[in-house]
């Protein structure tokens, strides 16, 4: 018998503040949902004062909640593809598929001043990969030094566009939107990938948000991943830097948002220093892949086409997280937090290292069992409402009662995307895995909250 009628959509929640701006309102296709309904919609539907629209490329829900007072003024959301589970006692079949995404991929290259971003970019542009790359360079100040450094070597670049006079994450974000729109409008079909090099002082969050908040960008371009360069010699100083209250430490933020991390300039330091830096990086971000290198020399597949925001690839992020350093001589420094398949139901643990950089850390929860959908939805919804400023990124793979497919999700602050993916195997243990990266995360609390949603 049906306990709940669940409309499961690929969901995207967007908490950007679009207040005061006028948005066109195309017809909404699909369901409407409420703020906490991340996984499902229960009636009645509340719409608040939302404007809504349909986005052709991806099934998604967008709505805004981070700042409730603000949100009530300017929230918007939209949904397209939906799927319905059958009643729990019947064989449920979630038919939602993550559709092919043909948008142009874009990679953000970030990293502290002097960490080797331009060097990496030159490596990308001069390598033989057959991709036509459009580059967006962000430079502080009017003289585009990096631009000229890149341009001289960039025979492979289809276009190099400079964004001067400010940092992408703050003043020139609107310019980024215009620039991407212009690239797409004028040069679509002439390039295969966009690479954006940020200034060394950029906080990646608003740049990431641009890809979801701005329709002109979202409809044509998908964020492929955030690649962060870390200067093996100087990163420690930057990570240590005490910032005034309310001011972010960019070096920490850049690591926290990364999908792939490149510890560069390893020629300048010894093994011990690198190992200790890697440990520190891992404590901030367990989810990202990590490579050590000199002069940005990494395989191009490590930088382009990484799918850091693709639901299809969530599994590789949450499985084995913290163990992905690609380095022949390195013994991985991660907690053993993998679930023992023979553990009993609800046996679980989280991993969380309190030793360094207590501000920004990773918390992972792994436990077997099935979730009460309604409770999980409420828990995650509340968590995002209350803590989305502090939750930088999260990814997860969930086992939901009554759902014979795994539910995968990922989020960046108050952006949330989730969808059922493949069927659970007949003998496969239904293990939930979630990783959070954020500020002042309380591992015990997160675990307790999650556990309370298990049946």
Ligand X SMILES: Nc1nc2c(ncn2[C@@H]2O[C@H](COP(=O)(O)OP(=O)(O)OP(=O)(O)O)[C@@H](O)[C@H]2O)c(=O)[nH]1
Q: Which residues here bind ligand X, judged by CB under 6 A?
A: 111, 113-119, 146, 200, 229, 264-265, 267-268, 294-296
Smaller CB distance to ligand X: residue 296 or 322? 296
CB atoms inside a 10 Å sphere around CB 228: 31
Token pair in block for residue 446: 């997160």
Nearest-angstrom CA–CA distance, 267 and 15: 42
34, 37, 40, 41 alpha-carbon torsion, rounded to 10°: -30
Instruction: Name the E strands within 112-220.
Output: 133-138, 157-163, 193-197
Minimum gap (Å) between residue 297 Cβ and ligand X: 8
Smallest gap from Cβ 304 to ligand X, in A, equals: 18
Whichever of 196 and 229 has its CB closer to ligand X, that residue is 229
| Shortest reach from residue 232's CB to ligand X, in Å | 8
Q: Are 350 and 448 contacting, i.e. CB atoms less than 8 angstroms apart?
A: no
- Minimum gap (Å) between residue 276 Cβ and ligand X: 18
DSSP state, residue 131:
-
Cα 422 vs. chain centroid, distance in angstroms?
21
Q: Are 15 and 208 in contact, with CB atoms under 8 Å apart?
A: no
Cα angle: 255, vertex 348, 335; to 5 degrees: 40
The pairing of strands 82-84 and 157-163 is unpaired
Residue 140 CB, nearest approach to ligand X (Å): 9
Query: What are 192's two structure tokens?
Result: 């295969």
Structural contact between residues 364 and 433, judged by C-beta atoms closer than 8 angstroms: yes
Nearer to ligand X, 253 or 372 (CB): 253
C-alpha distances (whole Å) from 134 to each of 156, 180, 190 are: 9, 10, 9
- CB-nearer residue toward ligand X: 28 or 149: 149
262 contacts: CB under 8 Å, gap ≥ 6: 111, 116, 120, 227, 228, 229, 230, 290, 291, 292, 293, 296, 298, 302
CB of 194 to ligand X, least distance (A): 18
Looking at the Cβ atoms of 114 and 449, the one nearer to ligand X is 114
Q: Name the minimum Å distance from CB 167 to ligand X.
A: 11
**Of the candidates 337, 333, 334, 335, the residue with the CA atom closest to the CA atom of residue 348:** 337
Residue placing its CB nearer to ligand X in the complex, 294 or 326: 294
344 exposure class (CB count in 10 Å sphere: 0-12, 13-18, 19+): exposed
Minimum CB distance to ligand X smaller for 134 or for 269: 269
Which C-beta is closer to ligand X: that of 82 or that of 119?
Answer: 119
Single out the residue of 205, 209, 291 nearest to residue 250, CA to CA.
205
> Of 195 and 380, which has the nearer Cβ to ligand X?
195
Sign of CA dihedral 215, 72, 11, 105: positive
Shortest CB 145 distance to ligand X, Å: 8
CA neighbours closer than 13 Å in the CB half-sphere of residue 3: 11
C-beta of 228 vs 399, nearer to ligand X: 228
**What minimum distance in Å lies between the beta carbon of 210 and ligand X?**
20
Least spacing, CB of residue 109 vs ligand X, in Å: 9
Q: How far apart are CA 275 and CA 277, in angstroms?
A: 5
| 359 in Cβ contact with 389 (< 8 Å) | no
């Amino acid at each position: 018998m049906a306990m709940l009628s669940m409309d499961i959509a690929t969901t995207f929640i967007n908490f950007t503040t679009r207040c005061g701006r006028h948005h066109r309102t195309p017809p909404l296709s699909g369901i409407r949902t409420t703020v906490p309904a991340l996984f499902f919609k229960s009636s009645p539907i509340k719409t608040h004062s939302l404007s809504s629209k349909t986005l052709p490329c991806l099934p998604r829900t967008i709505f805004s909640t981070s700042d409730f007072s603000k949100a009530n003024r300017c929230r918007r959301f939209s949904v397209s593809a939906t799927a319905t589970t059958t009643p729990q006692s019947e064989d449920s079949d979630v038919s939602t598929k993550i559709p092919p995404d043909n948008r142009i991929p874009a990679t953000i290259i970030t990293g502290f001043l002097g960490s080797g971003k331009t060097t990496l970019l030159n490596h990308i542009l001069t390598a033989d990969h057959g991709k036509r790359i459009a580059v967006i360079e962000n430079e502080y100040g009017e003289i585009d030094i990096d631009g000229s450094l890149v341009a001289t070597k960039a025979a492979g670049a289809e276009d190099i566009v400079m964004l001067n006079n400010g940092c992408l994450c703050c003043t020139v974000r609107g310019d980024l939107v215009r620039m991407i729109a212009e690239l797409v409008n004028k040069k679509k079909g002439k390039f295969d990938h966009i690479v954006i090099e940020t200034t060394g002082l950029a906080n990646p969050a608003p740049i990431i948000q641009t890809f979801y908040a701005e329709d002109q960008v979202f409809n044509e371009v998908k964020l492929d991943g955030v690649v962060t360069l870390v200067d093996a010699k100087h990163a420690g100083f930057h990570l240590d830097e005490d910032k005034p209250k309310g001011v972010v430490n960019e070096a920490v933020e850049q690591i926290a948002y990364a999908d792939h991390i490149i510890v560069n300039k390893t020629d300048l330091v010894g093994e011990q220093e690198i190992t200790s830096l890697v440990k520190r990086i891992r404590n901030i971000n367990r989810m990202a892949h990590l490579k050590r290198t000199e002069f940005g020399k990494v395989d191009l597949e490590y930088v382009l086409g990484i799918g850091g925001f693709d639901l299809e690839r969530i599994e590789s992020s949450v499985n084995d997280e913290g163990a992905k350093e690609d380095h022949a001589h390195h013994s991985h420094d991660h907690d053993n937090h993998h679930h023992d398949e023979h553990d009993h139901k609800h046996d679980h643990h989280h991993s969380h290292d309190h030793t360094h950089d207590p501000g920004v850390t990773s918390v992972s929860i792994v436990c077997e069992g099935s979730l009460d959908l309604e409770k999980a939805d409420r828990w995650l919804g509340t968590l995002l409402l209350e803590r989305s400023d502090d939750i930088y990124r999260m990814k997860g793979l969930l086992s939901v009662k009554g759902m014979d497919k795994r539910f995968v999700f990922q989020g960046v602050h108050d952006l949330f995307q989730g969808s059922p993916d493949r069927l659970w195997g007949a003998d496969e243990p239904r293990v939930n895995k979630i990783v959070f990266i954020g500020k002042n995360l309380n591992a015990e609390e997160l675990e307790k909250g999650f556990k309370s949603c298990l049946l």
